[in-house]
Chain A
């Protein structure tokens, strides 16, 4: 059997409102409701609704031979419930077909795995509960960590949580000569299978599809199936992992991305011997060829595939450390509002906005950031965090 495994990441952060120094100690509401609602509703029209309906159509047409997986962050679930219930319903319809798999992740798309096992576990459990609640008792078998961040230690924690498989990036510097198109196992706990993103074929769709300067533009289904067929025959699985917003938002409808996806299953069924599988099917069907050693964390971001998009410059490290210093106090307080803010403040996007790596050429980072500069992002985040710290201190004195 040779198979294609599609996984789409669905996430939106709770973006902060412009929060001034004068607000510290007085205004305890941090979220930019207007912007957050606007983003969800805009992307719903361009991506979530049309793509969900296309996927439903394909699943019905191929009677389950076409299937996909989603990981939907808790911050997205919350915003969807509040701002776009029709989008939530369309996801629920997809899951109800039985051919759409859901994965678990940390509830607030957090970087907790790098800092605190307790917090990491707490956020995973919260995500499990939330998925159960919204998707008719659904219980994911496979885990994906924020931004596909993975290391031997993180994998071992995920195994401890009872997952059979976990997704991550097929980072070149980790794989070396090895191929991402096999199943591997965690170096510390061989019970956890590791699926690696085929970044070339994934990014051909996610990043290069509409790029007219790309040598292989335009990407047709025939071309893509030829590339799949050209892979060594013994390689069993091609993991196509990407942001769900690829469809209609990063690649606009005008690029033909929806038509490509509409015709891809047919092309794969008729011109190749590939099938479609979900991550849990891949995990169940394939045995690992070896373990994979990842002593330092990798991610799916940027050329480096490391953590430097979120952590590493002084501002990011400062914000991150100050936030996680509060963990013990938060646990003791058990205040639902503080807990919610604490979780939303952990969302990786806040740290991504403070990235200075691409200060000169802007590119991807700038596209995603509501701030003009990483400095603005830092100042705003720290103002909010300063108020949050005051609240935590006041509450822990009670």
Chain B
């Protein structure tokens, strides 16, 4: 079987977990001798040659193709949100935006120019890049007939998947790594939601990274539950990391590591820290990462008068991330909504006991962890205190957690994915 996959990023050039998950999945597919054509907006040239890579920036789109024009028309809604015009009724607004998009020749021309340089980032031209990526998807689907199924990762690649399905008639699987509800809570960005909805509906089957995410697909996007399969993520390497990096402070260290944004629930970590420090001053808390809530957290820590016990490291990369895990006595992931959340598994690899929110996908696969509701700062504080003071739990978690990790292999995920593919193709035949 040969799969045409659309992603948005690939290691080593990644900004989140999506690229890593794609890499793991492809590794797993290779174990089962499944071929993958992997399309990314921009190839840097230093990617590990695990798949038949296609660089979208190098694909020439034949803009004379009549079907592409039609596809493009359907994509116009993508850019609507860049025009915020007050005091127009719904009809007038539609007229205005349709006009604005179709008569803005610069957009049309750059979208339809034969070559288009993607940034492959998440910048302000994101919607334009997503539209153009869809056209590239269509072009690839027209040029190549050597694939059996299409697989698109997250909303950025859904339009490409839909376009490829339309041109080739081959079945489409969309893979939901996250939804707009995870990223933004209830204040969703409508155009993004709309793309997600369209992708899930156009797909022959939906893959969700957790039961939690599946529930969102069903409840918020109206997808029938039988159309969604849960495939939990895995880890690339389950080996235990023994770092020689030594802690230099006498106190125990409790760590939050991730983006400091609404989704990750940093404020609950801060409040729990205060409760722990009141009972045990011999603990240090570390918030590693950056994000739009960083300054708010700094303010709150000062307000709670725990600035000498609660530290901020800024964004960590490379060895510093490993060092941070290595010197942590407890790792906390208090996410408000986490489709999966690979970071706690990294902590387990460093023999660090973890506390995770029940609102995370990883809670479905990791048994040897303390699970709390993200908002329950009392329970979080209790759990932190317990793991710090009753070493037997921590010891059990590290021993058993290591065994659990070994079961989370990408080849198992890939095997399940292949059965999903087989079922879809069988239904078609």
**Residues of A that sit less than 8 Å from B by CB:** 20-22, 24-26, 313-315, 317-319, 321-322, 373, 375, 378-379, 382-383, 385-386, 389-390
Question: CB < 8 Å: which of A373, A378, A383, A386 contacts B302?
Answer: A378
Residue picked from B294, B308, B314, most chain A C-beta under 10 Å: B308
When distances are taken between beta carbons in the complex, the residues of chain B under 8 Å from A21 are: 286, 288, 311-313
9 contacts between A and B (CB under 8 A): A21-B288, A21-B311, A318-B302, A318-B305, A378-B298, A378-B307, A379-B311, A382-B308, A386-B249
Tell me, in angstroms, the Cα distance from A390 to B249 when the chains sit together: 8
B307 with A382: CB separation less than 8 A: yes
When distances are taken between beta carbons in the complex, the residues of chain A under 8 Å from B307 are: 315, 318-319, 322, 378, 382, 385
Sample of 12 further A-B pairs with CB below 8 A, known A21-B286, A315-B307? A20-B313, A22-B320, A25-B249, A314-B299, A314-B303, A315-B299, A318-B302, A318-B305, A322-B307, A379-B311, A385-B307, A386-B308
B295 with A373: CB separation less than 8 A: yes
Residue picked from A314, A319, A390, most chain B C-beta under 10 Å: A314
Does B49 interact with chain A (Cβ within 8 Å)? Answer: no
Tell me, in angstroms, the Cα distance from A24 to B320 when the chains sit together: 14
Does B170 interact with chain A (Cβ within 8 Å)? Answer: no
A375 with B294: CB separation less than 8 A: yes
A385 with B302: CB separation less than 8 A: no
A385 with B308: CB separation less than 8 A: yes
Query: How many whole Å from B358's CB to the nearest CB in chain A?
Result: 29
When distances are taken between beta carbons in the complex, the residues of chain A under 8 Å from B302 are: 313-315, 317-319, 378
Query: How many whole Å from B101's CB to the nearest CB in chain A?
Result: 36
A383 with B250: CB separation less than 8 A: no
Which residue on A lies nearest to B305, using beta carbons? A318
Query: Chain B 284-316 against A: per-residue CB contact (8 Å), 1 yes, 0 no?
Result: 101010000011001100110101110111100
Tell me, in angstroms, the Cα distance from A385 to B313 when the chains sit together: 15
Interface of B is mostly: mixed
When distances are taken between beta carbons in the complex, the residues of chain B under 8 Å from A318 are: 302, 305, 307
Query: How many whole Å from B181's CB to the nearest CB in chain A?
Result: 30
A25 with B248: CB separation less than 8 A: yes
When distances are taken between beta carbons in the complex, the residues of chain B under 8 Å from A24 are: 248-249, 311
Query: How many whole Å from A334's CB to the nearest CB in chain B?
Result: 23
B312 with A390: CB separation less than 8 A: no
Residue picked from A318, A383, A389, most chain B C-beta under 10 Å: A318
Does B409 interact with chain A (Cβ within 8 Å)? Answer: no
When distances are taken between beta carbons in the complex, the residues of chain A under 8 Å from B312 are: 21, 379
Does B323 interact with chain A (Cβ within 8 Å)? Answer: yes
Which residue on B lies nearest to A316, using beta carbons? B302
Tell me, in angstroms, the Cα distance from A302 to B249 when the chains sit together: 40
Tell me, in angstroms, the Cα distance from A375 to B286 when the chains sit together: 15
Chain B, interface size: which category? 20 to 34
B248 with A26: CB separation less than 8 A: yes
Question: CB < 8 Å: which of B248, B305, B320 contacts A321?
Answer: B305
Tell me, in angstroms, the Cα distance from A208 to B288 when the chains sit together: 44
Interface of A is mostly: helix
Tell me, in angstroms, the Cα distance from A321 to B298 when the chains sit together: 17
When distances are taken between beta carbons in the complex, the residues of chain B under 8 Å from A315 are: 298-299, 302, 307
A382 with B311: CB separation less than 8 A: yes
Query: How many whole Å from B313's CB to the nearest CB in chain A?
Result: 5
Which residue on B lies nearest to A319, using beta carbons? B307
Tell me, in angstroms, the Cα distance from A272 to B313 when the chains sit together: 60
A379 with B323: CB separation less than 8 A: no
Query: How many whole Å from B333's CB to the nearest CB in chain A?
Result: 19
Query: How many whole Å from B281's CB to the nearest CB in chain A?
Result: 11
Tell me, in angstroms, the Cα distance from A322 to B305 when the chains sit together: 9
Query: How many whole Å from B247's CB to the nearest CB in chain A?
Result: 8
Tell me, in angstroms, the Cα distance from A313 to B248 when the chains sit together: 31
When distances are taken between beta carbons in the complex, the residues of chain A under 8 Å from B284 are: 386
Tell me, in angstroms, the Cα distance from A25 to B327 when the chains sit together: 13
Tell me, in angstroms, the Cα distance from A315 to B299 when the chains sit together: 7
Question: CB < 8 Å: which of B250, B299, B308, B313 contacts A22?
Answer: B313
A375-B313 contact, Cβ under 8 Å, with A22-B323, A386-B308, A390-B249: no
Tell me, in angstroms, the Cα distance from A24 to B250 when the chains sit together: 10
Query: How many whole Å from A366's CB to the nearest CB in chain B?
Result: 16
Which residue on A lies nearest to B313, using beta carbons? A21
Tell me, in angstroms, the Cα distance from A25 to B286 when the chains sit together: 15
Tell me, in angstroms, the Cα distance from A373 to B312 when the chains sit together: 14
Query: How many whole Å from B309's CB to the nearest CB in chain A?
Result: 8
When distances are taken between beta carbons in the complex, the residues of chain A under 8 Å from B323 are: 22
Query: How many whole Å from B319's CB to the nearest CB in chain A?
Result: 10
Query: How many whole Å from A351's CB to the nearest CB in chain B?
Result: 12
Tell me, in angstroms, the Cα distance from A314 to B302 when the chains sit together: 5
Query: How many whole Å from B19's CB to the nearest CB in chain A?
Result: 27
Tell me, in angstroms, the Cα distance from A390 to B299 when the chains sit together: 23
When distances are taken between beta carbons in the complex, the residues of chain A under 8 Å from B305 are: 314, 318, 321
Q: Restricting to B216-250, which residues have a CB under 8 Å from any CB of A?
A: 247-250
Q: Restricting to B260-279, which residues have a CB under 8 Å from any CB of A?
A: none
Closest 5 CB pairs of A and B: A25-B248, A315-B302, A314-B302, A25-B249, A26-B248
A390 with B250: CB separation less than 8 A: yes
Tell me, in angstroms, the Cα distance from A26 to B309 when the chains sit together: 16
When distances are taken between beta carbons in the complex, the residues of chain A under 8 Å from B303 are: 314
When distances are taken between beta carbons in the complex, the residues of chain B under 8 Å from A378 are: 298, 302, 307
Which residue on B lies nearest to A389, using beta carbons? B308
Which residue on A lies nearest to B247, using beta carbons? A25
Tell me, in angstroms, the Cα distance from A24 to B298 when the chains sit together: 18
Tell me, in angstroms, the Cα distance from A368 to B92 when the chains sit together: 52
Tell me, in angstroms, the Cα distance from A322 to B286 when the chains sit together: 18
Which residue on B lies nearest to A23, using beta carbons? B248
B298 with A386: CB separation less than 8 A: no
Which residue on B lies nearest to A22, using beta carbons? B323
Query: How many whole Å from A373's CB to the nearest CB in chain B?
Result: 7
Query: How many whole Å from B120's CB to the nearest CB in chain A?
Result: 28
Tell me, in angstroms, the Cα distance from A381 to B288 when the chains sit together: 17
Tell me, in angstroms, the Cα distance from A318 to B302 when the chains sit together: 6
When distances are taken between beta carbons in the complex, the residues of chain A under 8 Å from B309 are: 386
Query: How many whole Å from A375's CB to the nearest CB in chain B?
Result: 5
Residue picked from A22, A25, A319, A321, most chain B C-beta under 10 Å: A22
Which residue on A lies nearest to B297, using beta carbons? A375
When distances are taken between beta carbons in the complex, the residues of chain A under 8 Å from B313 are: 20-22
When distances are taken between beta carbons in the complex, the residues of chain B under 8 Å from A385 are: 307-308
B250 with A386: CB separation less than 8 A: no
Tell me, in angstroms, the Cα distance from A390 to B294 when the chains sit together: 26
Query: How many whole Å from A170's CB to the nearest CB in chain B?
Result: 33
Tell me, in angstroms, the Cα distance from A315 to B298 when the chains sit together: 8
Query: How many whole Å from B286's CB to the nearest CB in chain A?
Result: 6
When distances are taken between beta carbons in the complex, the residues of chain B under 8 Å from A22 are: 248, 313, 320, 323
A322 with B308: CB separation less than 8 A: yes
Residue picked from B294, B298, B313, B314, most chain A C-beta under 10 Å: B298
A386 with B299: CB separation less than 8 A: no
